[in-house]
Structure 1
């Protein structure tokens, strides 16, 4: 029967340690897991059992880490995965954690997308919000589009674009040349669709432009 010959600290990782067995096999585990399971030098244990304990401990710590992160604000599935990978959790531990969060309804991309659209929708165009949800937040394209179009109608987008353009025009009216063109570009950079911008521009007064 093999036994734990040595428990070695890892210089670049204060939370984990290498458990070395008498036959030379090495298993890395969280120090919290090592303490919880009473893994000490001289303890009889085979590699399979040691590995099972290490994996079980890692999955538990990954889950509590994710819960702590979610308690500070809603996050997408992709953000949770990235956060856990940054903390060097294994792919298996990350996958188990995400599946558990989903089963408990603690994690949902649609709920995240709805919250994101509500927050960003006041000052950002629908097109840009969809782009950010897909490319930055990792939300499924269909979910991002469905939520954005459901929460931000064309009428609301036009009204918002007009309001933002009016404020821009008021601020820039001393620079009277090419004001219409610059206002169009301003709305484009704020993420509005071209048809929304065109509708908004038709409602604005550029009569004083030189």
Structure 2
């Protein structure tokens, strides 16, 4: 049987050791594996021992990879599994690494999900539907993610949705009330807010503009449309103008008033 004739510390990785069998370099092992198998000079190693040492060292190397990955931020079990598989780690070793990570409390999907929800709630404007989808993509089970989402109170989510609406309205003063409402609904839906939150948020907003504000917005759009269709005459001009302004969400009676004013100029 081959015999260990020398053990040296690696220069760049001082927690790894080079093992020499019969005066020739054979393999390297992690310090923990060295201690666990009590490797020392003069020790004989059979095929089974060599195979077991290699297996345990692969587990240790993969465990260290996982720890480095987790050091950057909290991760879900599915994320760690994927990271190890991307490094071409064997499934049996991945399973052993995951077991050890849970054993030493480096992994906990419920704690991860709760932290994820709290971070999204406090640092983003995402609704719970988007947060739910992102947690599913990270491999979090339905039971865990639903418990985690309880960390996001309805009142706080509604308040965030209302603030989003207020900011959006301030930036889109030229839209008609009807178009504004449609855009707000679409924006909130994209950001992951439920129908109940959207309806409640819009009902809290002062969606109807004062008539003079609506007319001011209408005049801006009417001027643009007029420049586009001013070469047309009579019925064709009025038809095109009305169609263009109605598509912008303005009421027919207001459109009629603006067209009368344009005709009088």
Q: How far off is 1:47 after superposition?
A: 4.0
| Aligned 1:106-185 pairs, distance under 5 A | 106-122=106-122, 123-134=125-136, 136-149=137-150, 151-176=151-176, 178-185=179-186
Q: How far off is 1:60 after superposition?
A: 0.5
Q: Specify the alignment match of 1:197 in structure 2.
A: 198
Query: Which one has a larger percent helix, Structure 1 or Structure 2?
Result: 2
- TM-score (structure 2 length as normaliser): 0.61
Runs (5+) with no aligned partner, structure 1 = 4-30, 39-43
Task: Let me know the Cα RMSD of the aligned residues.
Answer: 2.5
* Higher CA-based Rg: 2
Structure 2 residue matching 1:88: 3-state secondary structure? coil
Contact 1:126–1:193, Cα closer than 8 Å, also in 2 = yes
Runs (5+) with no aligned partner, structure 2 = 4-26, 215-249, 251-265
Distance 1:198 1:175 in 2: 20
Q: Specify the alignment match of 1:206 in structure 2.
A: 207
Contact 1:121–1:129, Cα closer than 8 Å, also in 2 = no
Post-superposition CA distance 1:75-105 (Å, at most 9, x none): 1111111111111111111111111110111
Q: How far off is 1:46 after superposition?
A: 4.7
Distance 1:46 1:2 in 2: 7
Matched length: 178
Distance 1:60 1:146 in 2: 34
Q: Specify the alignment match of 2:29 in structure 1.
A: 33
Q: Specify the alignment match of 2:237 in structure 1.
A: none
Post-superposition CA distance 1:141-166 (Å, at most 9, x none): 111111112x1111111111101111
Structure 2 residue matching 1:33: 3-state secondary structure? strand
